Amino acid sequence: MNQQGLEIYQRTAGRFGREFRYFREVGSTNDVAIAAARSGAAEGLVVVADRQSAGRGRLQRRWEAPVGSSLLMSLLFRPPEPFVFFAGRVTMLCGLSLVAAVSEVSGVATWLKWPNDLIYETADASGGWLKLAGMLSEVVLSDAGQPVALVVGLGVNVNVAAGDLPALAPNAGSLSSLTGTEVSRVHLLDTFLGEIESRYADLLCGADPVPAWRERLAWLGRPVVVQGADGIIQGIAEDIDVEGALVLRLPDGETRRFLVGDLSLRPGSY
């Protein structure tokens, strides 16, 4: 593994990262990976950029990152059938791989904020949290409308200076601001791809990432609010079910499932 820079990173073994495309600047790494998938690129392609001019979160919300500060990357998967089942599991194992890689490389313990963010819980009793990374999974369809690939994009705030964080989002955090030292993006990328490699192989052999995901779910057993287009719903974050839906215990004792949609989870109190 080279420690110099992302531009000459290369993996020589395994499925992920042997086909590696680095861009100094790109619109969005997901767009590059989606176009590559449409032109027949093989599973395992990794696209990385030092700057995105049109980085995005869900529903075209912006993903911002100072140049060279972050790990902005997309991975191309070609999951087997049933596609929807495996696509959901792949997104989960990307989150779990990121938790593991962040812990190994920086020592920071992180949690997964359903459905797609990596967060750090601040040590004070305020229930505070910082968003360290976001994930965006997009299904690539054939001309006939069939799913042919899954692109998972990740934006990880690695070496974003504390002073630059508020401009990204009110609760943005970075690995360097938590550790007080610079974190190698190449080391993080290489460790992450190693995790993906083994967890994806396990998935294809029948392993289920749901139990591990549940254990890493932020605010499990604690009050949360789910925010959607038609308002907010309070409850206790009780579980992630077999479909990856969030199960909320409502104040009246009933449970309600939330499938991934335009929903945001936040800590709550009642």
Q: How far apart are CA 131 and CA 145, in angstroms?
A: 34
The owner of tokens 């289920």 is 208
Between residue 190 and residue 249, which ones bind ligand ADP under the rule CB under 6 A?
none
185 binds ligand ADP (CB under 6 A): no
Least distance CB 93 / ligand ADP (angstroms): 18
- Asked if 156 is part of the footprint of ligand ADP (rule: CB under 6 A), the reply reads no
Q: How far is CA 207 from CA 96, 199, 203, 212, 242, in A?
A: 13, 8, 5, 11, 13
Q: Does 131 bind ligand ADP (CB under 6 A)?
A: yes
Among 139, 151, 126, 155, CA closest to 65: 155
* Four-residue CA torsion sign, 235, 241, 243, 244: positive
Beta carbon of residue 88, minimum distance to ligand ADP (angstroms, whole number): 16
DSSP 203-252: HHTT---HHHHHHTBTTTTSEEEEEETTEEEEEEEEEE-TTS-EEEE-TT
Q: Please, what is the minimum distance in Å from the beta carbon of residue 14 to ligand ADP? A: 28
Of 5-13, 78-86, 166-174, 199-207, the segment contacting ligand ADP by CB under 6 A is: 166-174
* Interaction between residue 117 and ligand ADP (CB under 6 A): yes
Contact flag: residue 153 with ligand ADP (CB under 6 A): no
Q: Which of residues 47-106 bind ligand ADP (CB under 6 A)?
A: 57-58, 61-65
Residue at shortest CB range from ligand ADP: 57
Instruction: Please tell me the distance from the alpha carbon of residue 187 to that of residue 197, in angstroms, as a whole number.
Output: 15
Angle, vertex CA 213, rays to CA 228 and CA 171, nearest 5:
50
Among 76, 151, 172, 217, binds ligand ADP (CB under 6 A): 172
Residues making contact with ligand ADP (CB under 6 A): 57-58, 61-65, 116-117, 131, 134, 155, 157, 168-169, 172, 264
